[in-house]
Structure 1
Amino acid sequence: MFMSRRLRYQPRADRNDTAMTVHILTPDDTIFGVNRHVARVGFAQMGEEVRLFGLDDFDGLELAPGDIVVGGIGFARRGMARLGITAPDLDSIPEALVPFAGRRIWQATMGEARRLAGNGTAIFVKPLPDRLKLFTGTLLASFADLIPTAHIADEEPVICADPVEFVTEYRGFVLHGDLIDLRPYRGDPLHFPDPQVIRAALAAQAEADAPSAYALDLGVTAQGKTLVVEINDGYAVGAYGLSPVRYARLIATRWAELSASL
């Protein structure tokens, strides 16, 4: 196990200050609403005060130091801005995990990516970490693939990668360096990731001063090779079947770490 010495989230019963409030965007029937519902149940089970807010109610929220905002990356970052927290921009493949990616990953412009695709080179593109709402990561392999991102300026910086075909993908949840759960989310779940690769990737991240809470996405190729797909920051990560209390603790731990930097 790889344990971090960073600030750990303390449940309400163990804290002297019991004023923390978790502000959660009211859950709905969308796939993203499930995350908010799981967070609501988890924080309530941990004894934290939970308050729901609507899409148009954010500006009226009374946020205090130590509070948490749950509602996807956008609302979380808006909450951090109001609380004076510097929102992190975590690389999807940190330097420590490049050896586990099994493919080239580089930064270019959207125009350069389009030219490569236009010349017959398949390429996967996604926005920079601080521009995730701009578009969803996509494979550019034909002219038709260019249409969904036609509104993106040629000058827009993007992350590019050689495409890899995975037969299955799993999301691992990492808390203080420990893998606390592993959930399949795409493909055949019987193609299980190699535990040795997972342990090695966790160790590499721990040595590189990783966040206290994050998601590690892994893919298995048709040849049986386990590769790192990407990582996602724990402050607004999707639940993907993680139990409510573990999910809430993951979010709370990362928010506590970020708040401690104030």
Structure 2
Amino acid sequence: MTVYIKKVKYLTQTSINKYISKVGFSLRGEKVVEYDDLKEILPLNRDDIVVDYIGGMYRIFNYMRIERPEYDYPNALEKFYHRKIKAGVLADIFNDDGTIQKSFIKPRLETKVFTGKLIETYYDLIGLNIDRNYPIWISEPINIIAEWRTFVVNHEILAIQKYAGQFGVVYDYDVVKQAVLAWEDSPCAYALDIGLTDQGETVVVEVNDGFSVGFYGLDPYNAAIFLETRWRELTADYFNII
């Protein structure tokens, strides 16, 4: 088995995720090879694993003709959102009189051109570089004071890592467990982002697929388990066919 990990060219905040992956698979005794271009590692063998940035993973899945759903806001978790969320386009946040509905928006496309953002005025749209028909998620704003990432593997909580917000506040672990159990048809490995509101409610912020995520301090060994679990699930049919 060979684990191919995208070579880090520039030191950025996300570079640490590739290093964590490299350390994790090395601790498990796997052969780790860094690569620059997809052509260097093709064709892949059944036992191989690929770790890349999200755009690179999309290209790999396209090459393998793997269809992958977008999980941002699963219906099964609706009661844990504590806010209304709908799919729409940018034009939907404008009122008839041209004013803007205060909304939190994020892209719905695979090629996410901007990070989620609270929109209150026209000035908040500056720099997004999208037109009125761009597909987005629109959610009611709530005041989240702290956020954590829950790493879930085979319907079990592997770890919970904080990534934003106030210190000294704590989420409700029972709510997190209930959310994990509620999503019965979830992928084998995913990141469940949770938040604590200023009203003391533990809510689901969003879901991220497990093939390429930020680890926020997750133990490298567990990070390797997390990545391999989702990779095996996604590529199972591809390797069975070839």
TM-score, length basis structure 2? 0.91
RMSD between aligned residues: 1.8
Q: Report the secondary structure of 1:181's partner residue.
A: strand
Matches within 5 A, 1:15-30: 20-27=1-8, 28-30=10-12
State the partner residue of 2:34.
Answer: 52
Question: Is 1:155 aligned to 2:137, yes or no?
Answer: no
Which one of the candidate residues 107, 110, 128 is aligned to 2:108?
128
CA distance in structure 1 between the aligned counterparts of 2:200 and 2:156, rounded to whole angstroms: 24
CA distance in structure 2 between the aligned counterparts of 1:64 and 1:221, rounded to whole angstroms: 45
Question: Is 1:36 aligned to 2:18, yes or no?
Answer: yes
Matches within 5 A, 1:154-233: 154-205=132-183, 207=184, 209-233=185-209
Q: Which has the higher helix share?
A: 1
Structure 1 residues 73 and 114, CA, compared in 2 at 3 Å: closer, same or farther? farther
Structure 1: gaps (5+ residues): 1-19
Matches within 5 A, 1:242-253: 242-253=218-229
Given that 1:68 and 1:79 are in contact with CA atoms closer than 8 Å, whether structure 2 keeps it comes out as no
Q: Report the secondary structure of 1:130's partner residue.
A: coil
CA distance in structure 2 between the aligned counterparts of 1:59 and 1:117, rounded to whole angstroms: 53
CA distance in structure 2 between the aligned counterparts of 1:36 and 1:30, rounded to whole angstroms: 11
CA distance in structure 1 between the aligned counterparts of 2:98 and 2:81, rounded to whole angstroms: 25
Which one of the candidate residues 39, 57, 62 is aligned to 1:76?
57
Aligned residues: 236
Structure 1: which 4+ aligned runs deviate by more than 4 Å?
114-118
CA distance in structure 1 between the aligned counterparts of 2:119 and 2:96, rounded to whole angstroms: 9
State the partner residue of 1:146.
Answer: 125
Given that 2:71 and 2:209 are in contact with CA atoms closer than 8 Å, whether structure 1 keeps it comes out as no
Structure 1 residues 198 and 143, CA, compared in 2 at 3 Å: closer, same or farther? same
Q: Report the secondary structure of 1:92's partner residue.
A: coil
Among all aligned residue pairs of Structure 1 and Structure 2, give the percentage whose two residues are the same amino acid: 35
State the partner residue of 2:76.
Answer: 96
The Cα offsets for residues 227-252 of structure 1, whole Å up to 9 and x where unpaired, read as 00011111111111101110011010
How far the C-alpha of 1:259 sits from its partner, in A, is: 1.2
Structure 1 residues 193 and 85, CA, compared in 2 at 3 Å: closer, same or farther? farther
TM-score, length basis structure 1? 0.84
State the partner residue of 1:10.
Answer: none
Structure 2: gaps (5+ residues): none
The Cα offsets for residues 172-224 of structure 1, whole Å up to 9 and x where unpaired, read as 1101111111111111232111111111101101x2x1010011100001111
Given that 1:168 and 1:219 are in contact with CA atoms closer than 8 Å, whether structure 2 keeps it comes out as yes
